Structure 1
Amino acid sequence: MIVIALITAVVWIYLLTARGDFWRALDFDTSVIESPNNTWPSVIAVVPARNEAGVVAHSLRSILVQDYRGSFGVILVDDNSDDGTSEVAQWAAIGVNREDCLSVIRGRHLPKGWTGKLWALNQGVEAASQTEPTYYWFSDADIVYTPDTLRTMVLRADKNNLSAVSLMARLRCQSFAERMLIPAFIFFFQMLYPFRWVNQAGSRTAAAAGGCILVRRAALADIGGLMAIRDALIDDCTLAAHLKRNTGRIWIGLTHRAESIRAYDRLNDIRRMVARSAYAQLRYSPTLLLCTLVGMVIVYVTPPAVALASTPPARYVAIFAWTAMALAFVPTLRFYKASWLWSALLPVIALCYAAFTLDSAAQHVAGRGGLWKGRVQAPRDV
């Protein structure tokens, strides 16, 4: 027991001291200083939307009223919706007197070899490329922005010659399920992709948050466009990896400027969101799945189990590991204005995510991998 407790303690010491300070949640999109000599390159926002009538109006309004001083337009790609998404989008533009800035494209049939979102984005890029903008702004249809979001992203990209700038939008955290599981989702993401490492040119770590990515058009063309990642379920991180390998310069950060208004009121809603791509993250490998599940049990479940069931000195070492785990979670909870008491329950939360990951593998085996909005997108044979 003492050996097991020492292993978990060493793991948490490593995570706290040698993994890019991911747990401190310090990488924010603080304002970039603007000078009188700033030029304002052209930007086209591309918004893929499939049955998003309930949220797209709020999102589009926040995009259309950006206080950006350069040439700016918005293309919404209606990905075969049957709930009136296009009509809602057009009325939203009329409501803020910006209908001249919005173009709505009816998406074509999904071809073999493409995931739905990337196919929709590609159609938007094809339309936008006719005006040769400097940047594409890829935005999900459920993200709402403050008016200065685009301006600060462009300033950061131009000042640092970045290929992409991505903001980790704050997910909704209101229901019990959201308060329990959403902060941990961000915590685990930052653990997997420490933002400080992503933002270092010499690091191989690459990631992006698909809800909000500003991409330099020339950089996207250099990697072969979205065609190069057309079958990726984890499209954001795959795109980031391609861009970083090509240029070495991308950036991701937390933000208060972008918020998702998509509700995950039930645990099952979050399960579906995670299960959609968790097994793809593991490259559809049963070996990686087993290692991941065993690793999550050792790292998260073992400390409280040993602390509650063993005797000194193993108990004291396990309490240290459990305390380190809880303290590491607190900054993310603070970011989401969630109770710090959830930090002690991180082992239970981790078990939920382990179950979601196992469910993702089961869905893949059953031929339902990547199921999202009624459409299966993950290949059965990989």
Structure 2
Amino acid sequence: MTLVLLLLLALSLLTAVLYSTKLRRFSQQAPNLALAATPFQPSPPVVVIVPVYNEAENIESCLLSILNCTTLPAETLEVWMVNDQSSDSTWAIAQALQQRLNDPRLHLLQGQPRPTGEVWMGKNWACTQAVEQTTSEFLLFLDADVRLQPGAIETAVQTMQQEQLDLLSCAPAIECGCLAEWLVQPLIISTILIGFNFEAVNDPKTDTAFAAGPFMLFRRSAYDKIGGHRAVADQVVEDVELARRIKFTGLRLKFILGRELATVRMYRSGAALWEGWTKNFYLATQRNLTGSLLFVGLLLLICTVPWLGLLIGLSQIALDGWTSVWVGILMSAASVIALQYDARRQLYPVTGIAPNYWYLMGLGGVAVAAVAIGSIIKTETGWGWTWRGRPLKLSA
């Protein structure tokens, strides 16, 4: 057992060094969209579309953040909330807010049932209905858990204009609340970032495409050209598919960090986190079973093995006293744990995720491994594969 533990810790140290090094390089090189010092004037017409389904916890704060982040008038800015057949109090909360504010920029749309005989996944049907209500030159799609910062809309539109983009997608700063979020979010987000290549995504000569659904700003002409959300109606991960269509059509795509523009708290409970990540994780790998299982193994190696080594080493020393072997095991485990803390510190400047609860990364590794395996099973079988209770399994 001692030899096996030494070997695992050696592999853990090697992978942790690579992990920390790549994350540090990413934090130094990743592009970030800063708030514009002087907003673009005059602003072209822009509509903000928020599709919602059972978002009673989020909808008021989301809409207020949009309306309060800008002074753009109703002639230039429209905000459309589309209620996608919610079964909670989302619609009532939005109506009460509209009556209280009496802001002509805010529009509420009670979404229609999904067309029979057609497959419409996720937010695609709600977004399609909202787009039909407006002719604005720019379409900004936001999730209800996003909170915009002052100047965010003007900055995004100005960037679109200056760089002649057709789709601008920003990754908001990540907020964590419950313990499950602190365990899972830093590990999944950091792993995504380590393997992410902004340069390839933003290079029109490559086939690499990506976008983040919480914040997607389209030029209306480009959105119509690729068929909009109607063209990806049957896609669960519609944001990435829309980005692919933008790029493959020869249009200009840019994906960038947007910590200064917006924040997002993706999940507000352990149950919501489990449902959300098991919905998306395996699809995000394009159903790469080998890659997903390799991810699970590496994550456990980096996060969980050193803590197990530390506990085993301390228990053996308590029983047998100090020996060179167990001292070596403790030093190896401690070295990896120190690298874990360093990685969490590197994550903060680019994602907004503080190093809180970093000492629970061993448990976090187990939790994320469970999410990955659960996502594989759900996606391949359709068992329990849902979003807010709605089944996602496609008909055979």
Return the TM-score normalized by structure 1: 0.82
CA distance in 1, matches of 2:39, 2:264: 31
CA distance in 1, matches of 2:37, 2:151: 13
Same amino acid, percent of matched pairs: 22
Could you say which residue in structure 2 is the equivalent of 1:68? 72
Could you say which residue in structure 2 is the equivalent of 1:30? 34
Counterparts of 1:1-382 in structure 2, within 5 Å, are 8-17=12-21, 21-23=25-27, 27-34=31-38, 38-65=41-68, 66-68=70-72, 71-99=76-104, 101-109=106-114, 111=116, 112-128=118-134, 131=135, 133-195=136-198, 197-201=200-204, 204-245=207-248, 246-260=250-264, 264-265=268-269, 267-302=270-305, 320-333=335-348, 336=352, 338-339=354-355, 342-368=357-383, 370-379=385-394
Following superposition, the deviation at residue 98 of structure 1 comes to: 1.3
Following superposition, the deviation at residue 73 of structure 1 comes to: 1.0
Following superposition, the deviation at residue 9 of structure 1 comes to: 4.9
Q: Is the 8 A contact 2:24 2:346 kept in 1?
A: no
**Larger gyration radius, structure 1 or structure 2:** 2
Give unmatched runs, 5+ long, in structure 1.
none
Which amino acid is the alignment partner of residue 254 of structure 1? G
CA distance in 2, matches of 1:149, 1:193: 24
CA shift digits 1:106-131 (9 cap, x unpaired): 23325532213112112222333xx2
CA distance in 1, matches of 2:234, 2:256: 23
* Aligned-CA RMSD value: 3.4
Q: Is the 8 A contact 1:143 1:260 kept in 2?
A: yes
- Select between 142-151 and 277-286 the one with higher mean Cα deviation: 277-286
Cα 1:282/1:198, change in 2 over 3 Å: closer
Give unmatched runs, 5+ long, in structure 2.
314-324
Which amino acid is the alignment partner of residue 73 of structure 1? E
CA distance in 1, matches of 2:12, 2:224: 45
Cα 1:45/1:117, change in 2 over 3 Å: same
CA distance in 2, matches of 1:314, 1:163: 54
Q: Is the 8 A contact 1:64 1:93 kept in 2?
A: no
Cα 1:173/1:135, change in 2 over 3 Å: same
Which amino acid is the alignment partner of residue 354 of structure 2? A
CA shift digits 1:78-129 (9 cap, x unpaired): 111233433322332332331454141423325532213112112222333x
CA distance in 1, matches of 2:24, 2:233: 31
- Select between 101-110 and 135-144 the one with higher mean Cα deviation: 101-110
CA shift digits 1:347-369 (9 cap, x unpaired): 43122111012122333355335
Which amino acid is the alignment partner of residue 332 of structure 1? L
Q: Is the 8 A contact 1:202 1:248 kept in 2?
A: no
CA distance in 1, matches of 2:289, 2:347: 31
Q: Is the 8 A contact 2:209 2:247 kept in 1?
A: yes
